[in-house]
Amino acid sequence: MQDLVDLDRAGLADLLAGWGQPAFRARQLHGWLYERGEADFGAMLNLPAPLRQRLSEEATAGTLQVATEQTSRDGTIKRLYRLPDGQLIESVLMVYASGRRTACISSQAGCAMGCAFCATGQMGFARHLTVGEIVEQAWIYARQLQARGERLSNVVLMGMGEPFHNYDAAVSAIRRIMDDLGIGARHITVSTVGLVPAIRRFAEEGFQVGLAISLHATTDAQRSAMMPVNRRWDIAELIAACADYQAISGRRVTFEWALIDGENDSEAEAHRLGQLLRGLSCHVNLIPLNPTGGYAGGPTRAEVAARFVEVLESHGIPATVRVRRGIDIDAGCGQLKSTVLKRQAP
């Protein structure tokens, strides 16, 4: 079976050319899939019946099966998909009053990076996702929104997995999201734990895609204890790569900071962070920790978070405390899957 969502425009054209179809058939098929958001070959009425028949026998439009779905009070949709080999991955759609519609998608089943506080890290690595599996997560939400007269406006690679550990597929998926789903680079963000060579390579791709860095600590001792990747590329190397990315892409870099009660939320820490980021065009997203089963830490209280913001602002660093959307449905990285697995456990 050929999954059409795994193919870009040229790949679709090659497939249909190989089936002896004229070139315009591939354009029609592409239009059905991505402009009309149609996944049912039987409904593609301007394709000849024998071609529709062959497509239904030899191809699929996507491979993801919904395993569970939850809708939160704030409109957030959280899905767990089952992949053909049984792996489970999460995708979230966040709905904002401004009209913004953001899909948060996964790049791997599990994650090899082992960050202590992260539910996905606690599960370990299962496998990389294919380009089609990454793109399809965004495509499904795009179609669903289109059907209700709305539009998917933003995509963030911030679900399960480390996108830059699956570099080639993640970059191809980003190109596809731009080309096939029509979402501009400036509306796409990739979040990384800090794989420095990949950040540098990504800068050379020449996209204006947003870069988000999971920082969470200002000293190497503390960051290495929470995030093993820091033993390979330390904070100084990471910040230097971010400064270069900023200079090359012209985009402000985002730093993500999970605020952990009594761990990394003191005023002194905020001052150190302000000094570390001084002179860099950036923004800090502060996210009170989502507690996970494998980590003892808890979230910072709102007053302490507000003080952290003030200190950063005194250093000229803009910062926002993010409300974790969909908190009532475990919409934190890897959390829905851990809840479902726990429920299934004997």
Residues near ligand SF4 (CB under 6 A) = 111, 113-115, 118, 120-121, 161-162, 193, 214, 333
Given the structure tokens 């990394």, which residue do they identify? 264
Whether 90 is catalytic: yes
Pick from 110, 132, 326, 332: which binds ligand SAH (CB under 6 A)? 332
Structural contact between residues 76 and 331, judged by C-beta atoms closer than 8 angstroms: yes
Q: Is 258 in the site for ligand SAH (CB under 6 A)?
A: yes
3-state secondary structure of 310: helix
Report the DSSP pairing between strands 319-321 and 125-128.
unpaired
Q: Is 166 in the site for ligand SAH (CB under 6 A)?
A: no
Q: With CB cut-offs between 5 and 8 Å by kind, which of ligand SF4, ligand SAH, none does residue 287 bind?
A: ligand SAH
Q: Is 129 in the site for ligand SAH (CB under 6 A)?
A: no
Q: With CB cut-offs between 5 and 8 Å by kind, which of ligand SAH, ligand SF4, none does residue 290 bind?
A: ligand SAH
d(CA 235, CA 216): 11
d(CA 151, CA 137): 15
Pick from 91, 137, 189, 214: which binds ligand SAH (CB under 6 A)? 214
Continuous segment of H or E residues that includes residue 269: helix 267-276
The angle subtended at Cα 181 by Cα 175 and Cα 185, nearest 5°, is: 50
For the CB of residue 333, give the shortest distance to ligand SAH in the complex, in Å.
Answer: 4
Closest to 266 measured CA to CA, from 218, 229, 221: 218
For the CB of residue 190, give the shortest distance to ligand SF4 in the complex, in Å.
Answer: 12
Rounded CA Rg of the chain: 21
Q: With CB cut-offs between 5 and 8 Å by kind, which of ligand SAH, ligand SF4, none does residue 106 bind?
A: none
- Active-site position among 38, 90, 136, 269: 90
Q: Is 158 in the site for ligand SAH (CB under 6 A)?
A: yes
Closest to 217 measured CA to CA, from 200, 194, 195: 194
For the CB of residue 165, give the shortest distance to ligand SAH in the complex, in Å.
Answer: 8
Closest to 103 measured CA to CA, from 134, 132, 147, 72: 134
Print the binding letters for residues 94-123 with ligand SAH: x by CB under 6 A, - otherwise.
-----------------------xx-----
For the CB of residue 214, give the shortest distance to ligand SAH in the complex, in Å.
Answer: 4
Structural contact between residues 281 and 247, judged by C-beta atoms closer than 8 angstroms: no
Whether 57 is catalytic: no
For the CB of residue 246, give the shortest distance to ligand SF4 in the complex, in Å.
Answer: 21
CA torsion, points 149, 151, 157, 158, in degrees to nearest 10? -60
d(CA 55, CA 47): 10
Q: With CB cut-offs between 5 and 8 Å by kind, which of ligand SAH, ligand SF4, none does residue 256 bind?
A: ligand SAH
Query: Which residues are annotated as catalytic?
Result: 90, 333
Residues contributing to the site for ligand SAH (CB under 6 A):
117-118, 158, 162, 191-193, 214, 256, 258, 287, 289-290, 292, 332-333
